[in-house]
């Protein structure tokens, strides 16, 4: 399941930004990519240029697949020169013991505070937090706690991700971002042409 989840997340990024994108009227541009991987961690960066090689948009993503801790994590950056902790959007997913139709909430906490999600259903629960919220949670303990509760406040699942893992993710995101940026500097040789979307 873990490998399938990872395989589903990362190619979707390139497809969304490149292969399935509508090519501007000016003609096909360029798609520049960078990657960095380490065990359960993977980071990708995609930078889109117009046909003259001028910047259009970019996106960098780090994903740590679900291991024995039953939680996965993802961070996304758009239009940043260098990925930073407080400029990302973070998504955490946790496997719970809840019935798929039972509503519940996910909470992310550290010794600095707590952030809660809206109520949702499903056996895998999701919370999405801003970079500012994430930075405010950075505490002195070794990990970020992630827990799921039902509407009665009963614990349905608890796990966590270490700050070392999150720091590693940031480092890999910066590596991937630097590689796509370097490719864009020599886009005619290092990047691929955008593909036109074929009408159905």
Structural domain boundaries in the chain: 2-193
The per-residue pLDDT for 174 is: 97
Tens-binned pLDDT, residue by residue, of the chain (200 aa): 444 444 444 444 444 444 444 445 567 899 999 999 999 999 999 999 999 999 999 999 999 998 778 899 999 999 888 999 999 999 999 999 888 888 999 999 999 999 999 899 888 999 999 999 999 998 778 889 999 999 899 999 999 999 999 999 999 999 999 999 999 999 999 999 988 655 55
Q: Please count the other Cβ atoms lying within 10 Å of the Cβ belonging to residue 45.
A: 28
The per-residue pLDDT for 7 is: 43
The per-residue pLDDT for 25 is: 54
For residue 143, which phi and psi values (nearest 5 degrees)?
Answer: -150, 165
The per-residue pLDDT for 66 is: 87
The per-residue pLDDT for 26 is: 63
The per-residue pLDDT for 198 is: 53
Residue 84, SS3? coil
Residue 10, SS3? helix
pTM, entire model: 0.81
The per-residue pLDDT for 69 is: 80
Query: How are strands ordered across the β-sheet holding 113-116?
Result: 113-116, 104-110, 143-150, 155-162
The per-residue pLDDT for 99 is: 83
- Strand runs (DSSP E) across the chain, as ranges? 30-38, 41-49, 55-64, 71-78, 89-95, 104-110, 113-116, 124-130, 143-150, 155-162, 192-193
């Amino acid at each position: 399941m873990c490998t399938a989840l990872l395989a589903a997340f990362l190619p979707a990024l390139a497809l969304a930004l490149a292969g399935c994108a509508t090519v501007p009227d000016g003609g096909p541009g360029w798609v520049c990519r960078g990657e960095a991987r380490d065990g359960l961690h993977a980071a990708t960066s995609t930078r889109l240029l117009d046909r003259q090689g001028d910047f259009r948009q970019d996106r960098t993503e780090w994903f740590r697949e679900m291991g024995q801790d039953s939680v996965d994590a993802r961070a996304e950056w758009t239009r940043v020169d260098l990925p930073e902790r407080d400029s990302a959007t973070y998504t955490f997913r946790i496997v719970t013991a809840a019935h798929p139709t039972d509503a519940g909430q996910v909470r992310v906490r550290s010794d600095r505070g707590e952030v809660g999600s809206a109520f949702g259903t499903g056996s895998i629960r999701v919370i999405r937090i801003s970079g500012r919220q994430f930075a405010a949670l950075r505490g002195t303990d070794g990990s970020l706690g992630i827990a799921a509760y039902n509407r009665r406040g009963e614990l349905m699942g608890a796990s966590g991700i270490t700050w070392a893992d999150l720091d590693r993710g940031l480092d890999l995101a910066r590596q991937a971002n630097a590689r796509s940026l370097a490719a864009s500097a020599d886009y005619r040789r290092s990047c691929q042409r955008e593909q036109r979307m074929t009408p159905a």
